[in-house]
Structure 1
Amino acid sequence: MLGIEAFQQEVEQEIQQIPKELNRLTDSELSRIASQFLPVVYETLGETDLEFSTHIQNNTDFSDWYDLNVRLHKVSGYRSVVISTKFPNNIPDDVTSEQMRAIADLADRFCFGEIRVTHEQNLVLP
């Protein structure tokens, strides 16, 4: 059995054997590509503590969902929402067209039209 250090060493040795000319991405090419993506213009909100009304706080289903699916955002005052694609009685990672349209509507309304897919195939509304 190969230990973690030996595995890391083998990976590093393999990487060293990759010809450097295979990486043709220059700094100018990376800059050119980056210029094709416009940055999102966020409002200045300041950090806020989200406090829910007593009705919402007493809704344990919503509170549980919020605790599991809402994350701090890199921009102060914003949050990211993770939407699981694993539904009860459904094929994992399968979303219907109706569900996807609803998610797209939420993204248009609240997330500058952005939806991201995680390595776990969940959706993130940033």
Structure 2
Amino acid sequence: MNAGERLQAPLAKLPLWKRGLEADNCANFPVLEEVLLQDGSESDKALSISLQVEICRHLETLQNSFKGRFCSDDLKVETWICNPFLADIDCISDEDLAKDDLIDLRTKEMIRNEFNSMSLEEFWCSLK
């Protein structure tokens, strides 16, 4: 699983969590739900409006921050990291120095064999 794939789930969940909080459903925040249950009776377990608004605002900020830092187009361009032997080399800018290194890497059969026999993390660490 690459970085882009790992970011997709949290990005998709943030709006869901926000909608849940707006509907007084804290199921996605078990510690918060536990605190609310400890602090009062069943009828008192709802969040205060101001706290609910603050948490929702924070979730929006997180979502915008993730989107600003990790543009999905940038993540798609760097798919060569996941498989340097199958990725479309034309997607990499000619100005990117990594392109030269990638071309060199792709011509070495022994490195390809290592790639096929290791985890992605082990492969890239072995090249260091």
TM score, norm. by length of structure 2:
0.24
> Which fold has the larger relative contact order, with Cα–Cα distance below 8 Å and residues 6 or more apart in sequence?
2
Structure that is richer in strand per residue:
1
